[in-house]
């Protein structure tokens, strides 16, 4: 790790200080050709929406659902149920300029708050298994945030809302070599004792070092959040209350990387050293005893990519990824538990529950190939092999005792600490497909295989009698067929997909983390836009899908053929963009989320909801724009997410009440 770190600083210093007047372009080609399953949210859309939470941005992507939690918390669904638990985030890879924002095996289920959304130049959503190109944690898909654009205009944007919240973003550059972006957000929250302060900074420089183009990105984020927990009703006045006023989440991150690119004859070389750091403290208010978790990671790595363009009608890419990380985690319960059941009071002791370190090493090779005939028939393929090693060091006593070695009642403490271990996971994945253009249509067919290794929390954060988690990587096989139709005034994408996931990791009735689950996922996605008249453009994004258990485990309520919980059959949005005046844009969004079950046995459900959002944009002068919006226009009472717990019954994260927002954007040279 020190070698990579110093290498990074060496290249970065040149990139920051070296100047050039040449206009440079940097290729971040990902060789991902299945266009119907790739959604792109442009910088204009990002600017127009000016979101407070990522959930608002992803409504335009069919089959995507970002479930809003408290403050900046979220859970992700990409052609999948909304997944929860310690391994949930391992199914979705979050990238920045094609680089994962967290080390393999240590994702954060809420890690969308570590990206600078409103400073991004575009967002790419890849739905379906993407492991063949991006590796583990891309089991169901990947989200790539392209960083701020250096050639963009300087601007200052501010916005206030009815809760007296405030947010602002700013981008500035004097030359074509660098740009600085800052985003600030102070949200008061609509629930008692909730809200957050958030700051994000991105600095990007683009220069030339001898024969290499160098693009350096520095990204810093900080979040201080007062968290509100679940409530038992989203319809009554309880939706504005917070039974966990003590809960909070403090998180910060730093990412620094330099992309070096050189073209020689028919070869393009990319070399990218990087450094990442993140730290988070938060109260686990949803657990008896409300322990405090502290976790952090420092990681560095080096990516190499070579594109070969010397063969007629062929394109070949070869890549190597190397990464090292040092990870720390501890869980501490400050007070003795006396207010829960006799069992919980006895097995959840005061003091430390976990305190461990994990050093990880990742090495991966991948190969991409593309062949295009003269009649626009394209064949594409990717293959990847990856090895991930965990070197785990328990800093406490092994087993399920208290920190001082004394025993808990009821057979032992709830928290179990495995002995030191060195574990490796080797995985392979591939993708194969073709496309063919026929007049205005392009037809696609692909088969892809994805994987995700077990996460650190699944392996080493055990409970009750479990002393070893004997887990293997989750696998998914997916078949997709798509049609992309384009015309002068319309674009339409149709995708049919069918997937099977094996070795599903879950918790059994003894709270042990086990593998062997199976699930099936199939559905249809329809998205696109049409210019109805010069004054009206309609956009749409809809998904019709079934996510089913493909195994039975009756003791936890799982039966083969049941719908997986938090997986609506139908969801989507339709946007009416209206241009009544040359300088005025209005948008009406109709958002729909269908009924879904909240428990594996399919006994409890949430009925779903319709929401109407209204937005507007007016160009007051060549440099000054006004934006305004009303979210949840009809003030419907709904749940952002519904859940069922055997301890507390039905529980909800309440939806946002009607909220108006007003702001302006000033651009300058």
Only one residue has tokens 């809809």, namely 542
Question: How does DSSP classify residue 438?
Answer: E
Rounded (5°) CA angle 526-529-534: 160
Q: Which residues of 110-146 are buried (b: 16+ CB within 10 A; e: fewer)?
A: bbbbbbbbbbbbbbbbbbbbbbbbbbbbbbbbbbbbb
- Measure the CA–CA gap between 475 and 452, rounded to whole angstroms: 7
Which residue stretches of the chain have pLDDT < 70? 1-32
State the CB neighbour count (10 A cutoff) for residue 634. 9
Identify the CA nearest to 455 among candidates 144, 129, 102: 102
Q: Report pLDDT for 459.
A: 97
Q: By the 8 A CB rule, do 134 and 97 touch?
A: no
Phi, psi of 623 (to 5 degrees): -115, -10
CA dihedral of residues 497, 498, 503, 506 (deg, nearest 10): 70
Residue 276: give the domain boundaries.
Answer: 2-229+245-484
In-domain check, residue 654: no
- Measure the CA–CA gap between 167 and 200, rounded to whole angstroms: 11
Q: Which two tokens stand for residue 6?
A: 């110093």
Q: Report pLDDT for 629.
A: 97
Tens digit of each residue's pLDDT (9 = 90 or more) over 560-608: 999 999 999 999 999 999 999 999 999 999 999 999 999 999 999 999 9
In-domain check, residue 111: yes
CA dihedral of residues 455, 459, 461, 467 (deg, nearest 10): 170
Q: Which two tokens stand for residue 646?
A: 């055997």
3-state secondary structure of 28: coil
DSSP string, 126-182: EES--HHHH-TT-SSEEEEEE---TTSPEEEEEEEETTS-EEEEEEE-SSSSEEEEE
- Measure the CA–CA gap between 347 and 464, rounded to whole angstroms: 9
Q: Report pLDDT for 31.
A: 57
Task: Count Cα atoms within 13 angstroms, Cβ side, for 334.
Answer: 8
Question: What are the distances in angstroms from CA 646 to CA 340, 450, 509, 518?
Answer: 15, 33, 12, 23
State the CB neighbour count (10 A cutoff) for residue 316. 16
- Measure the CA–CA gap between 523 and 62, rounded to whole angstroms: 11
In-domain check, residue 645: no
Q: Report pLDDT for 654.
A: 97
Question: What are the distances in angstroms from CA 54 to CA 113, 145, 440, 615?
Answer: 8, 12, 33, 16
DSSP string, 187-239: E--SSTT-EEEEEEEEEEEEEEETTEEEEEEEEEEEEEEE----BS-SSSGGG
Strands (E), 24-63: 38-42
Q: Report pLDDT for 111.
A: 86
Task: Count Cα atoms within 13 angstroms, Cβ side, for 628.
Answer: 9
Q: Report pLDDT for 27.
A: 33
In-domain check, residue 641: no
- Measure the CA–CA gap between 629 and 288, rounded to whole angstroms: 40
- Measure the CA–CA gap between 301 and 1, rounded to whole angstroms: 7
In-domain check, residue 249: yes
Q: Which two tokens stand for residue 70?
A: 């408290």
pLDDT above 90 covers a percentage of the chain that reads 85
Burial of 424 (0-12, 13-18, 19+ CB in 10 A): exposed
Q: Which two tokens stand for residue 390?
A: 């965990």
DSSP string, 594-648: --EESSTTS--EE--EEEEEEEEEEE-SSSEEEEEEEESTT----EEEEEEETTT
Identify the CA nearest to 587 among candidates 579, 599, 597: 579
Phi, psi of 5 (to 5 degrees): -60, -50
Burial of 2 (0-12, 13-18, 19+ CB in 10 A): exposed
Q: Report pLDDT for 23.
A: 37
Q: Report pLDDT for 6.
A: 43
Q: Report pLDDT for 180.
A: 96
Q: How many domains does the chain have?
A: 1
Identify the CA nearest to 215 among candidates 223, 205, 225, 228: 205
Q: CATH no. for residue 299?
A: 2.40.170.20
- Measure the CA–CA gap between 220 and 119, rounded to whole angstroms: 12
3-state secondary structure of 103: coil
Q: Which two tokens stand for residue 229?
A: 């927990």
In-domain check, residue 150: yes
Q: Report pLDDT for 18.
A: 43
């Amino acid at each position: 790790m020190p070698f990579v770190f110093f290498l990074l600083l060496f290249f970065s210093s040149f990139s920051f200080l070296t100047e050039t007047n040449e206009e440079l372009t940097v290729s971040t080609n990902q060789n991902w050709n299945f266009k119907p399953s790739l959604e792109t949210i442009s910088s204009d859309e990002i600017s127009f929406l000016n979101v407070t939470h990522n959930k608002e941005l992803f409504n335009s992507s069919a089959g995507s659902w970002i479930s809003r939690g408290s403050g900046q918390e979220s859970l992700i669904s990409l052609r999948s149920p909304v997944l929860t638990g310690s391994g949930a985030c391992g199914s979705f890879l979050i990238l920045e300029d094609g680089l994962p924002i967290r080390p393999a095996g240590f994702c954060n289920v809420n890690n969308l708050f570590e990206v600078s959304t409103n400073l991004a130049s575009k967002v790419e959503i890849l739905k379906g298994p993407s492991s063949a190109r991006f590796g583990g944690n891309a089991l169901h898909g990947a989200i790539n945030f392209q960083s701020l654009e250096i050639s963009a205009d300087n601007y200052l944007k501010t916005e206030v809302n009815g809760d007296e919240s405030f947010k602002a973003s700013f981008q500035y550059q004097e030359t074509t070599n660098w740009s600085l972006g800052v985003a600030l957000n102070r949200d008061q929250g609509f629930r008692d004792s909730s809200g957050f302060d958030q700051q994000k900074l991105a600095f990007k420089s683009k220069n030339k070092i001898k024969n290499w183009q160098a693009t350096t990105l520095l990204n810093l984020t900080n979040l201080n959040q007062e968290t509100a927990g679940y409530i038992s009703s989203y319809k009554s006045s309880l939706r504005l209350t917070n039974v966990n006023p003590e809960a909070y989440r403090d998180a910060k991150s730093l990412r620094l990387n330099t992309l070096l690119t050189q073209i020689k004859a028919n070869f393009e070389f990319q070399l990218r050293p990087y450094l990442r750091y993140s730290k988070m403290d938060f109260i686990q208010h949803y657990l008896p005893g409300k322990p405090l978790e502290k976790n952090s990671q420092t990681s560095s790595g080096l990516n190499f990519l070579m594109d070969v363009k010397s063969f007629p009608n062929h394109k070949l890419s070869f890549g190597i990824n190397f990464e090292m990380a040092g990870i720390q985690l501890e869980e501490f319960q400050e007070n003795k538990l006396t207010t829960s059941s006799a069992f919980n009071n006895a097995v959840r002791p005061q003091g430390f529950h976990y305190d461990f370190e994990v050093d990880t090493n990742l090495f991966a090779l991948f190969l991409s190939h593309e062949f295009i005939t003269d009649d626009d028939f394209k064949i594409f393929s990717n293959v990847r092999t990856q090895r991930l090693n965990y070197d785990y060091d328990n800093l406490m006593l092994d087993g399920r005792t208290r920190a001082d070695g004394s025993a808990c009642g009821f057979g032992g403490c709830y928290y179990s600490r495995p002995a030191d271990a060195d574990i490796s996971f080797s995985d392979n994945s591939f993708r194969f497909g073709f496309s063919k253009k026929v007049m205005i249509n392009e037809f696609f067919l692909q088969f892809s295989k994805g994987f995700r290794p077990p996460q650190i929390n699944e392996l080493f954060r055990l409970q009750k009698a479990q002393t070893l988690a004997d887990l293997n990587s989750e696998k998914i096989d997916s078949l997709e067929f798509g049609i992309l139709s384009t015309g002068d005034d319309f674009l339409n994408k149709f995708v049919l997909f069918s997937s099977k996931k094996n070795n599903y990791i879950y918790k059994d009735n003894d709270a042990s983390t086990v593998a062997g689950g199976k699930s099936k996922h199939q559905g249809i996605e329809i998205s696109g836009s049409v210019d109805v008249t010069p004054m009206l453009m309609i956009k749409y994004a809809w998904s019709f899908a079934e996510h089913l258990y493909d195994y039975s485990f009756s003791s936890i309520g799982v039966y083969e053929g049941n719908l997986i919980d938090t997986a609506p059959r139908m969801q989507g949005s339709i946007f009416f963009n209206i241009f009544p005046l040359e300088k005025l844009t209005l948008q009406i969004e109709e958002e729909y989320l269908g009924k879904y079950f909240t428990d594996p046995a399919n006994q409890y459900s949430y009925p779903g909801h319709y929401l109407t959002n209204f937005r507007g944009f007016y160009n007051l002068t060549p440099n000054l724009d006004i934006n305004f919006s009303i979210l949840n226009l009809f003030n419907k009472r709904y749940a952002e997410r519904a859940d069922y717990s055997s301890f507390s019954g039905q529980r909800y994260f309440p939806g946002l009440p009607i909220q108006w927002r007003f702001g302006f954007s000033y651009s300058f040279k």
